[in-house]
Amino acid sequence: MTNIERLKKERELIGFYLSGHPLDRFKDDISLFCSHQLLAESLEELDDRTPVSCAGIITSVKRVTDRKGRPFAFLTLEDEVGSVEVIAFSNTFDKFMNLLVPDNIVVVDGVTDSRSGSIKIIANSFDRIENLREKNAGKIRLHLKIRTDELIKDDFERISDLFSNNRGNTPVALDVFSPHTTKPLRMNVRKYVIDPTDEMLRDLRKVIGRDNVNLERVQ
């Protein structure tokens, strides 16, 4: 049984996720590519028709037809802090209907709609959250904080091996902290462009610490 299947079974049996949340493994991507979480109180503070990008797991889909007989859908999208109704009108529904099924984890780009008195999101597009890092490879970089007094030679060799074994299109920037300097030295690692997979990020964090490994958008 996969982790997602186990979490789904927990939700079915007890009404909530017990051992984690399906979005936990996508925290890096959510911080990079999403503008808001699904806490209703926060979304309700936004002006009507505010652009938003939100990640969540689809927990329900209600398919209906409009006055012209064209299909559209009302979805419930849920993250760790809340849930919201998402409306996919006919043009959007036609383009993305293959993604709009329960238990899929998606990112929705759209605008807020508060005219009915309760906050909703009108969708313009959907994508699988797994696709975003690859699609935006040229728009992100890997940022590492290296503290020279906390690492040994084997650590630097491990970092170099990870870079060599995960080549891609994402540049790497280092902030090097040393006891001999008052400010970190910012360096761009021109020798490597990498593919920042979940496994690589996890291995890097084991070497230099979770808070010292981050993906960031390139302005």
For 159-207, how does the pLDDT look when each residue is reduced to its tens digit (9 = 90+)? Answer: 999 999 999 989 999 999 988 878 888 888 888 899 999 999 999 999 9
**Residues ≥6 apart with Cβ < 8 Å to 98:** none
Strand order in the sheet with 213-217: 185-194, 167-177, 140-147, 213-217
Task: Quote the pLDDT of residue 1.
Answer: 45
Range scoring the smallest mean pLDDT among 10-24, 81-95, 127-141? 10-24
Q: CB neighbours of 102 closer than 8 A, spacing ≥ 6?
A: 58, 59, 60, 61
Q: What pLDDT is recorded for position 14?
A: 43
Q: Give residues with Cβ within 8 angstroms of 219, minimum separation 6.
A: none
- Per-residue pLDDT at 11: 54
Instruction: Quickly count: other Cβ atoms within 10 Å of residue 34's Cβ.
Output: 21
pLDDT at 211 over 80: yes
Q: Cα 157–162–163 angle (5° rounding)?
A: 100
Tell whether the model's pLDDT for residue 5 goes beyond 70. no
In degrees, rounded to 5, the angle at the alpha carbon of residue 188 between the alpha carbons of residues 187 and 189 is 110
Domains parsed from the chain with CATH numbers: 3-133 (2.40.50.140), 139-217 (no CATH)
C-alpha–C-alpha distance, residues 184 and 178, integer Å: 7
pLDDT for residue 117 is more than 60:
yes
- Look at residue 15 and tell me whether its pLDDT is greater than 80: no
For residue 2, pLDDT beyond 70: no
Mean pLDDT (whole number) for 29-49: 92
Q: What is the CA radius of gyration of the chain?
A: 21
Q: What is the pLDDT of residue 9?
A: 56
Sign of CA dihedral 124, 128, 130, 136: negative
